[in-house]
Structure 1
Amino acid sequence: MSLLNAILAVALSAAPWLLLGLVMAGLIKALVSEALLQRWVGGQGLGSIARAAVIGAPLPLCSCGAIPTALAMYRGGASRGPATAFLIGTPGIGVDSMAITYALLGPFMAVARATSAVLTAIVTGLLVGRTVASSEPASGAPRDEPDCDSCCSSGCDEAQDAPAETAEAGLTGRLAGGLRYAFTDILDDISLWLLVGLLVAGGLIALVPPQQLAELGSGLGAMLIMAVIGIPLYMCATAATPIAAGLLLAGVSPGTVLVFLIAAPVTSLATLGVFRREMGNHGLVAYLVGIMVSAVLLGLGVDAVASWWKLDITRQIEEVGELLPAWIEWLGLIVLTGLAVKPLRRKLADHLPHPA
């Protein structure tokens, strides 16, 4: 029973904040176009790379969903550095994952995660920007389309449909389309992994003695292991958060948890394959080195700051959990479950008025 209680407690804490994050993701989707992104990240140098990382951070795209957008920017004239920074910064953190991070990990870890995602994107973008692929196609030459068979489908479908995309009538239509995207495409992409994350988090909290992970889950060695495990995974930022919460509450240090939160969402085996094809072997090496070194150094820095400030991360998590009354948490979980389960969502949609 303690295992079920732990899973339910994590789910109740996360549900209302995740719903809020999905709403914000839908608004961003409706109001920010790919053409506007292309203009914002044009140019070269630190300024362009920093802009790409910061602009990409709140966008609601997973690592595979970010591939088509980043490649469109690269092939449209953006240099290697900004394209890489966008490719890393976008899945590293988003408005949906920021909301659930605040709910499950507390304000300090939320700020640390957002800052670390942007810094990792900037550092890696600078490293990749200094490399040159052994063979670059001539400007304007056609390149193969990214293979996203092993990725989430929404990002690739969106990229393939982009030329035929037409703006829905007026702001109301765009907002409706953005919310539909958030509560169908995004939610479908993360729901299975989110469920896995909740199960793992509940198991870690209920079954693993805190002392055991506290002894094994801190220091440089543990952080390197987290980075090596996280980089090839395909796990979106939102789904990784419950697992991080379970690790943290089971005794793993905040810095080690942060390494997992950086490494797991920003890339995957599919991303690595596409990146190598576009940027070459030297670019891929710089990409991996940038992510791993940045994640570990930032993890060590977060552990140092938490120790220096004598932060009680567990208490912060408890205080956030006390912000919302229980009925809102239960309502959020019921609504989220109804939207995540496709048959229930279809029944709900049947009872809603259809646009003319």
Structure 2
Amino acid sequence: MTIDYVMYLISVGFQSLQEYLALHVLMCLLPAFLLAGAIASLFSKESVLKFFGADTPKYISYTVAAVSGCLLAVCSCTALPLFAGIYKRGAGIGPATTFLFSAPAINILAVVYTAKILGYDIGAARAILAVIMSVFIGLTMSLIYERKEAEKSSIKTFGEEEHKHTVELFILLIAVLVAPEFMSSWGWKFTNQIIAWIPLIALTAYLSIKWFSKEELESWMGETWFLIKQITPLLLIGVFFAGIIVEVLPKEIVASLVGGNSIASNFVASIAAALMYFSTLTEVPIIKALTLLGMGTGPSLAMLLAGPALSLPSMIVINRVMGIKKGMTYIFFVIVVATISGYIFGLTIV
């Protein structure tokens, strides 16, 4: 490997990082961090445990965790601060990992776009299997680790009763998070998105100052900054190396390994998707291009399931948040279940 090639790969990594910063920080990651910080500081522990706690009936906690991400048009990296906030608040590892998988996998925009570009059969399969997979992975993680979970340290809260405006703030922050994606899907130019987005941000800021005390706002910003410091450096390092991996591993080579429908081809598709970074919706045109190069339908679904759930940046952060053992277990199950799901789906359409 020559010095010139090494320098070229480094430039590719920085270009990937530059594109990521331009596309995701302002209108994607920052709102997600603010939402996660609000969950960690302003939402009472009881309100989180009501749906996600280990003592909550499984049919409630897993149902809510599996479908709560359907309206959040976020990629795996953007879902991470939300997961970190939920997990930090004391959510059981089962519902928390169910949410971690489902949030980027079943957002409405991605499912509809998949059906439109790749076909309604694979779009429906993506939505249905993503929900089933998320619950299966969460239940398995709970079975392995729930009894071993130590009680999480408490976070400063402001009384046992939920603040009367936290629900309204939650809705506003979700609107801030998803509005750019919807405006983009409607074909709005970036400038128009910003013009329409600013009043929503201003309204959220004004009502936050009006509704919450200085102490509560400081706690919110403190939790947000803590999550930014914990996650962002690892995220950016992962994005840098993910860009290099995509360059070193050309799509043509991947396509040659994932033709047809076998356990091996679906496994390769799942691994490749886990190593690449897919921002929301970008996985669809990439997979469409790969199918034109010969990728089978089963491996296409495996990539659709594993790609939004994992990426090199997200795997680094997941291991940081949950610990190496739990993080690697989660990653293993995502890849294995995506492989099996893709293989079964490939058999059904032959």
TM-score normalised by the chain length of structure 2: 0.56
2:73, 2:178 within 8 Å by CA — same for their partners in 1? no
Question: Which residue of 2 is the match for residue 218 of structure 1?
Answer: 261
In the alignment, the residues of structure 2 paired with residue 234 and residue 179 of structure 1 have an alpha-carbon distance, to the nearest angstrom, of 20
Q: Any conservation in 1 of the 2:89–2:154 contact (CA below 8 Å)?
A: no
Quick check: 1:62–1:265 contact (8 Å CA) kept in 2?
yes
Q: CA deviation at 1:45?
A: 3.5
1:288 aligns with 2:331: yes
Aligned match of 2:309 in 262, 266, 270?
266
- Which deviates more, 244-253 or 119-128? 244-253
Letter in 1 for 2:329: A
Q: Does 1:90 align with 2:133?
A: no
Q: How does 1:1-356 map to 2 (within 5 A)?
A: 39-42=50-53, 43=56, 45=58, 47-132=60-145, 139-140=152-153, 177=176, 180-182=179-181, 216-307=259-350
Q: TM-score, structure 1 length as denominator?
A: 0.55
Deviations 1:305-342 (A, max 9, x none): 112xxxxxxxxxxxxxxxxxxxxxxxxxxxxxxxxxxx
Query: In structure 2, the residue corresponding to 1:60 is in which secondary structure?
Result: coil
Deviation track 1:46-78 (CA, whole Å, cap 9, x = no partner) reads 652243112223422211111121222222221
Return the alpha-carbon distance in structure 1 between the equivalents of residues 112 and 322 of structure 2: 33
Question: Aligned equivalents of 1:306 and 1:75: distance in 2?
Answer: 42
Aligned pairs, number: 236
SS in 2 for 1:234: coil
Unaligned runs of 5+ in 2: 1-34, 156-164, 191-238
SS at 1:298 equivalent: helix
Distance 1:216 1:289, change over 3 A: same
Change (3 A) 1:52 1:238: same
Structure 1 unaligned regions, length at least 5 = 1-29, 143-163, 308-356
Query: Match for 2:116: what amino acid?
Result: A
- CA change 1:298–1:37 in 2 (3 A) is farther
Q: Which moved more, 1:60-69 or 1:269-278?
A: 269-278
How far did residue 292 of structure 1 move? 1.3
Change in 2 beyond 3 A, CA 1:122/1:180: closer
Q: Sequence identity of aligned pairs in percent? A: 25
Q: CA deviation at 1:166?
A: 10
Whether the 8 Å contact between 1:216 and 1:222 is mirrored in structure 2 is yes
Once the two structures are superposed, what CA deviation does each residue of 1:275-318 show, in whole Å capped at 9, x if it has no partner? 223322331232022111111111111111112xxxxxxxxxxx
Residue pair 1:44, 1:82 contacting (<8 A) in 2 also: no
CA shift in 2, pair 1:175/1:300, >3 Å: closer
Report the counterpart of residue 327 of structure 1 in structure 2: none
Instruction: In structure 2, give the amino acid aligned to 1:95.
Output: I
Counterpart-to-counterpart distance in 2, 1:283 and 1:79? 13
Q: How far has the Cα of 1:247 moved from its partner?
A: 2.5
**Structure of greater relative contact order (alpha carbons < 8 Å, 6+ residues apart):** 1
Shift of the 165–296 alpha-carbon distance from structure 1 to 2, 3 Å rule, reads: same
